[in-house]
Structure 1
Amino acid sequence: MSDAELEAFLKRAAEGGGGAPPKEPSARARMVARRLREQDEAAARQGKRGSTEPPGWRTGPARRESGGGRTRRGGLLGVIGVLVALAVAVIAVRPSLLLDRFGGGDEGGTGSGAAGPGLPTRAQPFRGSPALSWADGAAGIVVPRAEAVGDMSGEDVASALRLTKELLVAAHLDPAVLRGERPEKAIALLDPESPGLMARVERSLRAPGREDDPLTYFTRFDPDEARVLDGGVKVRGEMTYAAGDPGSVEVHADYTFVYAVERAGGDAVDRTIVRRDMTLMLADPERWEATAGRLLPKSYHADFGNTECEVYDGYLHPYFTGADATGAPPSGAAVDPYDRSRPVGEDSDRACGRVTRT
């Protein structure tokens, strides 16, 4: 029976009417009949004619819905209970929604050196950063399986991939280079046959400036201002390869490096993010003017997050909370330095932007 048919039968039964009863009335029907009798008896005691219309199955007794404050409080508590249950369900699926508010999530964090909720400390330098779950240092540079491409053998490809990783480690992870020392190992991996390359590198290290900036090739911090914490580099990215011109293989590397840095004096910790995109070529010396075991750079692009604007002294200058900025204030659009979907260097000719987090 439908609800309407069952209610009609119960009404006739309460008024003494006929009609064939349904077979084996359900527990729900017996419950409604009992409610009707109780309502009629209560109405009779109050000198009123009892209502024979049953309350809604799902909405609760209609009389209570239009009654006093006690019932309204019960309804409010029910709504709060539903909202709490929904919140618990959402947090169970996305715990980061709660953790991010307290700096423990994988997506939270803002640019600051103060030791507050979600901010980095010496003990937890990647707290509140997406990089918390990234690989440490060189472990984040994964070399793909080498196979022959074009007229280059699998061994040639494997050599190109190995040399590319060695260059990334020497130029962007070597502790000596990070503290501003000369990047000898990295330079030794570059092919001196590349036209003008060595002259540009030497000029940038000797007299850095806007046009000759060693940060194009290497990652360096001013040791008088900041130092990278021990084990304080997280890395994520990818390396691919393809056949180049005849007698060569090209390796493309796109990696984001997150450096946990401590201000000189040890009173603040923050992070600087550097994303580097480069294409390197390994050429057959018998077919090219090239040096065996050296890489020919074809392109270099980089984006820097949390460093002073318009400073070209060859070093990165992280911003720490409470420190006076020495460079030009950010004037460009806000950007997320962890966003790897954006092309690298697309804002290089625009105003210095503000990072949304470090």
Structure 2
Amino acid sequence: MSDRRSEQSSGDEPSSSSISDEVWQQFLSDSERDIRKSAPKEPSARAREVTQRLKKQKGEPEGWRTGPAWQEMNGRAARRRKGWAVIGVPLAIAVAVVAMRPSLIPGDPFGSSAGSSSGASSGTDSATSPLPDETAAPTAPPSAVAADTPTLAHPFAGSPALRWADGAAGIVLPKATALGAIPKGRVELALQQTKKLLVDANLNPDVVAGARPEAALSVLDPKQPHVLDDLDSSLRSPSKTRDPLFLFSRFDPKDVKLAGKVIKTRGRITFAKGKFEGVAVHADYTFVYPVVRADGSTEVARTIVRRVIDVELPDATRYQVTPGRLTLLRYDEDAGNSACDIDDGYLHPQFPSQAPTGSAAPTGPSIDPYDRSRQLGKGPQGCGTVSRT
């Protein structure tokens, strides 16, 4: 799993055209302190772990409206990847009982009593009917489902994602509203640009098969220092510290391909007034990819990727930015069921028939990749196992 965080810091400025050295230095000190508090813990040493955190750039701005405004922001993103490689064995008896008698679980674990669904056909069985859209952070992982083997015909069998929305239908934007002096139209633009980024980076079948994510890159501001250069470098020459998987979901088409046309999606988007007098958008989504080997095998495996990103559409009248383009502030990512020791820029799912055993099996902690209540960057470190796929 991986965690990228980039904070671009330039707080509310006075309306005058200049700022005193004392005020600016105090602002830098406060920002640096806040970033240290919010930064994720350093990962433990292991293959596929990003080994360094890109440092916060600091510099006095050369002007409020006329200077190189991106010097007022941190242009790089600190990143961390965590890989959870091996499929865990579920408690078959317990999940079978739950599947047949969900009423045995207190409350309404399947969320079938409220809300509207998106991206899947409705049904009368609460175990297979689509879930309502996620409108708040979950407080617990999804309930267990009946153990079942995925197939080409049913690639999400035995997965909580069976009830999730299909593809882009799962990225449901909130209703845009004005944010004080920020008009509704600018809020709507920020939301649409964020969705375009998410869809191309995670759901475009060509990008998933290794193609360049042109649409996703097109919404990012080229004036933001280093970001596009770093992403371009990661796509051209992947490495442990510059990995396209930080932001894009990609599989090597020589090794694996999607099992069918559906990628399951679940998550939510929120917005608020940002640090740079613009629209800040927070997105937290999990994507489930069913794949088969490219050699013609019909065995299906699933890789689960969760992404959390923060972007902002800054006020172009106060900062020298590209109007309509997003500033990338933070990006975190976890990948469940992907090899931990390969840094070629692709996800490498492990198939049940190829799972290592004995001394070759990972010994790290077990993680539920479907648990959207878990805060990224706060879990155990190391190359471990996933409890289910």
TM-score by length of 2: 0.61
Q: Distance in 1 between matches of 2:101 and 2:174?
A: 37
In structure 1, the gaps of 5 or more residues are 1-86, 97-103, 111-116
Question: Deviation of residue 266 (structure 1)?
Answer: 2.8
Of 222, 236, 259, the residue aligned with 2:289 is: 259
**How big is each residue's C-alpha offset from its partner over 1:90-142, in whole Å with a ceiling of 9 and x where there is no partner?**
9372499xxxxxxx8884469xxxxxx60110000001100001000000000
**How big is each residue's C-alpha offset from its partner over 1:169-206, in whole Å with a ceiling of 9 and x where there is no partner?**
01100010000111111111111111110110011111
**How big is each residue's C-alpha offset from its partner over 1:249-289, in whole Å with a ceiling of 9 and x where there is no partner?**
10000000011111112331011000000101001222112
Aligned partners of 2:151 and 2:298 also within 8 Å: no
1:31-42 map, 5 Å: none
Q: Distance in 2 between matches of 1:95 and 1:122?
A: 31
Partner of residue 343, structure 1: 375
Q: Distance in 2 between matches of 1:243 and 1:157?
A: 9
Partner of residue 204, structure 2: 174
Aligned partners of 1:137 and 1:231 also within 8 Å: no
1:93 aligns with 2:103: yes
Partner of residue 12, structure 2: none
Aligned partners of 1:151 and 1:246 also within 8 Å: no
Q: Distance in 2 between matches of 1:178 and 1:307?
A: 14
Distance 1:128 1:156, change over 3 A: same
Partner of residue 216, structure 2: 186
Paired AA for residue 164 in structure 1: T
Question: Deviation of residue 345 (structure 1)?
Answer: 3.1
**How big is each residue's C-alpha offset from its partner over 1:4-58, in whole Å with a ceiling of 9 and x where there is no partner?**
xxxxxxxxxxxxxxxxxxxxxxxxxxxxxxxxxxxxxxxxxxxxxxxxxxxxxxx
Higher relative contact order (CA 8 A, sep 6+): 2
Aligned partners of 1:146 and 1:157 also within 8 Å: yes
1:306 aligns with 2:337: yes
Question: Deviation of residue 149 (structure 1)?
Answer: 1.4
Paired AA for residue 337 in structure 1: P
Partner of residue 388, structure 2: 357
TM-score by length of 1: 0.67
Question: Deviation of residue 302 (structure 1)?
Answer: 0.4
RMSD of Structure 2 on Structure 1 (CA): 2.5
Paired AA for residue 142 in structure 1: V
Q: Distance in 2 between matches of 1:92 and 1:161?
A: 37
Q: Distance in 2 between matches of 1:351 and 1:184?
A: 33
Paired AA for residue 242 in structure 2: D
Q: Distance in 2 between matches of 1:197 and 1:294?
A: 13
In structure 2, the gaps of 5 or more residues are 1-96, 107-126, 129-141
Aligned partners of 1:233 and 1:259 also within 8 Å: yes
Q: Distance in 1 between matches of 2:275 and 2:163?
A: 38
Of 149, 152, 156, the residue aligned with 2:182 is: 152
Distance 1:108 1:227, change over 3 A: farther
SS at match of 1:231: coil
Aligned partners of 2:190 and 2:312 also within 8 Å: yes
Paired AA for residue 93 in structure 1: S
Partner of residue 277, structure 2: 247
Q: Distance in 1 between matches of 2:276 and 2:246?
A: 28
Percent of matched pairs sharing the same residue: 47
Q: Distance in 2 between matches of 1:228 and 1:296?
A: 31
1:280 aligns with 2:290: no
Of 135, 152, 155, the residue aligned with 1:122 is: 152
Aligned partners of 1:203 and 1:212 also within 8 Å: yes
Distance 1:299 1:107, change over 3 A: same
Larger Rg: 1
Q: Distance in 1 between matches of 2:366 and 2:202?
A: 25
Aligned length: 255
Paired AA for residue 274 in structure 2: G
1:320 aligns with 2:320: no
1:291 aligns with 2:322: yes
Question: Deviation of residue 329 (structure 1)?
Answer: 4.6
SS at match of 2:194: helix
Paired AA for residue 352 in structure 1: C
Q: Distance in 1 between matches of 2:201 and 2:378?
A: 22
Greater helix share, 1 or 2? Answer: 1
Aligned partners of 1:220 and 1:314 also within 8 Å: yes
Aligned partners of 1:261 and 1:269 also within 8 Å: yes
Aligned partners of 1:306 and 1:319 also within 8 Å: yes
SS at match of 1:253: strand
Partner of residue 133, structure 1: 163
Distance 1:217 1:310, change over 3 A: same
Question: Deviation of residue 322 (structure 1)?
Answer: 2.0
Q: Distance in 1 between matches of 2:202 and 2:194?
A: 12
Aligned partners of 1:260 and 1:269 also within 8 Å: yes
Q: Distance in 1 between matches of 2:192 and 2:150?
A: 33
Q: Distance in 1 between matches of 2:361 and 2:222?
A: 38
SS at match of 2:321: coil
Distance 1:209 1:92, change over 3 A: closer
1:11-160 map, 5 Å: 91=101, 93-94=103-104, 107-108=143-144, 118-160=148-190
Question: Deviation of residue 151 (structure 1)?
Answer: 3.0
Of 310, 318, 334, the residue aligned with 2:366 is: 334
Distance 1:246 1:305, change over 3 A: closer
Paired AA for residue 257 in structure 2: R
